[in-house]
A and B are shown apart, each in its own frame.
Chain A
Amino acid sequence: MSEPILSTHALSGGYGDFQALFGVDMHIDPGEVIALIGANGAGKSTFLKSVFGMLPVAKQMVRFDGADVGGTPAHKMVRQGLAMVPEGRRLFAGMSVEDNMRVAIDNARLPEDQGQWTRDRLFDLFPILGEKRREMVENLSGGQQQMVAISRALLCQPRVLLCDEISLGLAPKVIREIYAVVPEISAAGTAIVLVEQDVSLAKSASNRLYCMLEGRITLSGASGEISRDEIATAYFGGSHAVA
């Protein structure tokens, strides 16, 4: 049994005086897909930002590839092998699709020709991006923008990919299209953390699942074995089931 590629240990943190996370323990193995679900405001995005070095946390709270890395700035985490598809996509406006991608290539863990992901492979995966490679990203549809955001993260050649609500605001057909690439990403050995509000989507796409409520993990287990009732309790609180 190898060590998890990424784990958190009693991770606590938040924004200044406001504490949003209370002792979160989580781990993910190479090639694994885990889902992190929870209601709006539960602390999912805060968790991802804390892992990625965008919010202050103690060094030993985050372990990546066997080293304590908590609080390491995001741009250095990218070199280690972490990448994120942020909530709301956060593309570089005023830049073309390809230039958005090239920013990631410029700063990736590995050069494009040595990594798993190349522009050509992503244009095969998302053909519309190939057609629109010279288009300014602000002129793309929401789904196309999400594809750019995912491509940008993958071109960092990550070993762990953090995805924050990539289905948000998209049509069901587009969501299916985007989730169809998840198995291909993990098949390459990349571990994926899927933050989702859509519970059934999260269950079906992941190996394991964590449920967060008010900054605490209230449920975790294999995605196939957790019942809807257990999730409902963990998601909305009430009897405070703790797994």
Chain B
Amino acid sequence: MQWLDAIIQGVLLGGMYAQYALGMALMFGVMRIVNIAHGDVMILLSLIAVTLAGVVPVGNLGLILLVVPIAVALGWVLQKFILNKVVGADPLPSLIATFGLSIALQNLMLEIWSADTRSLPSSGIASESFNIGPIYVGLLPVIVLICAFCITAGLDGVLRFTRFGRGLRAAAADTEAAAMAGVNPKKIYATATAIAVGILGLAAVFAALRATVSPADGPAQLIYAFEAVIIGGMGSIWGAFVGAMVLGVAQAVGLRIDPGLGILFGHLVFLAVLAGRPQGLMARK
């Protein structure tokens, strides 16, 4: 029963990781843009959410409705003014540019919010829980998981079946050839990054509800997102979801073995997948 509990808690934790990872799956997996500032952007959005919650009493849902549009705008600006200048076949320029951005964001956040950990007051729905037999399950993690599942399905469908999705896949495969077929690559990339960071906005509110955030937390979130995408397989949206589940379960199981082992166990599973199936669990071929 202890192990069943660990797996369930792990899957629920995986729901949170999936929310971190979906934007990464779109940007890194599909567009091949390495955004080192991914985690920092999420922390920034969490801190904005915490501050907003102190100013406007809108409740958790209202907060999501406020933060996601901010995130979308932030993503669009990020692509338009920074990433579109450095996209290309070579991933190194985007890596360097976003590495700089990551450090700048961390310093900026430290300046504005100090190093304190913060969180959103978990009131109402966020503090409720229920039991499945002997296993205790928080309502919030379940909501997080359901949201992650729905966003995964939606994003996958958008990529497969919509004009935007085809244009994005075409631009990612061959930017110049896509332009020759009438796709405006910069516009489509700006839209894709806006979506990716928009998802991060939702994740940011949930992260601040579930746990605490502080300005230096970004790199850890970056690693989880990165690992989930690689475990699942580059270019696969469902892969990122599955990768996040694997990571969450590995951490939860590791935690049961030894309380100090949780995070490390996740990294070890990541390395094991990298060694045994470097193309990822859900990759084609």
A→B interface (CB under 8 Å): 52, 54, 73-75, 78-79, 83-84, 86, 90-95, 99-100, 102-104, 106-108, 152-153, 156
Contacts and interface: CB of A to CB of B under 8 A. Distances in A.
B182 A108 contact: yes
B166 A106 contact: yes
Contact of A95 (B169, B176, B183, B185): B169
B178 interface: yes
A242 B240 CA distance: 61
B182 A86 contact: no
A83 B180 contact: yes
Contact of B180 (A86, A95, A99): A86
B170 interface: yes
Contact of B174 (A52, A78, A90, A153): A90
Nearest to B182: A107
Interface string B180-193: 11111100000000
A169 B163 CA distance: 32
Nearest to B177: A90
B185 to A, nearest CB: 8
Contact of A78 (B173, B181, B284): B181
Contacts of B169: 92, 94-95, 99
Contact of A86 (B163, B177, B183): B177
B167 A103 contact: yes
B91 to A, nearest CB: 17
A107 B173 CA distance: 17
A52 to B, nearest CB: 7
Given A92-B169, A94-B169, A102-B166, A75 B174 contact: no
A92 B180 contact: no
A75 B182 CA distance: 4
B179 A104 contact: no
Given A86-B176, A94-B169, A103-B181, 5 more contacts: A74-B176, A94-B235, A99-B169, A100-B170, A152-B181
Nearest to A93: B173
By Cβ-Cβ distance, the 8 closest A-B pairs, closest first, are A107-B182, A78-B182, A90-B177, A74-B179, A92-B173, A106-B163, A92-B170, A103-B170
Contacts, number: 73
Contacts of B170: 92, 95, 100, 103
A86 B176 CA distance: 10
A102 B162 CA distance: 10
Contact of B182 (A92, A93, A100, A156): A156
Interface in B81-104: none
Nearest to B174: A90
Contacts of A152: 181
Nearest to B184: A75
A131 B180 CA distance: 26
A94 B177 CA distance: 14
A91 B177 contact: yes
Interface of B: 163, 166-167, 169-170, 173-174, 176-185, 235, 284
Given A106-B163, A108-B182, A92 B177 contact: yes
B183 A84 contact: no
A207 B167 CA distance: 36
A117 B180 CA distance: 17
B175 to A, nearest CB: 10
Nearest to A107: B182
A84 B182 contact: no
Contacts of A95: 166, 169-170, 173
B174 A92 contact: yes
7 contacts: A73-B184, A75-B183, A86-B176, A90-B180, A92-B177, A94-B173, A107-B167
Contacts of B235: 94
Contacts of B166: 95, 99, 102-103, 106
A108 B179 CA distance: 11
Instruction: Determine which residue in A93, A103, A104, A107 has the highest number of CB atoms from chain B within 10 A of its CB, and name it.
Output: A103
Contacts of A108: 182
Contacts of A104: 181-182
Contacts of A93: 173-174
Contacts of A102: 166
Given A95-B166, A103-B166, A75 B179 contact: yes
Given A90-B174, A92-B169, A103 B180 contact: no
A100 B171 CA distance: 11
B96 to A, nearest CB: 22
A99 B172 CA distance: 14
Instruction: Determine which residue in B163, B180, B183 has the highest number of CB atoms from chain A within 10 A of its CB, and name it.
Output: B180
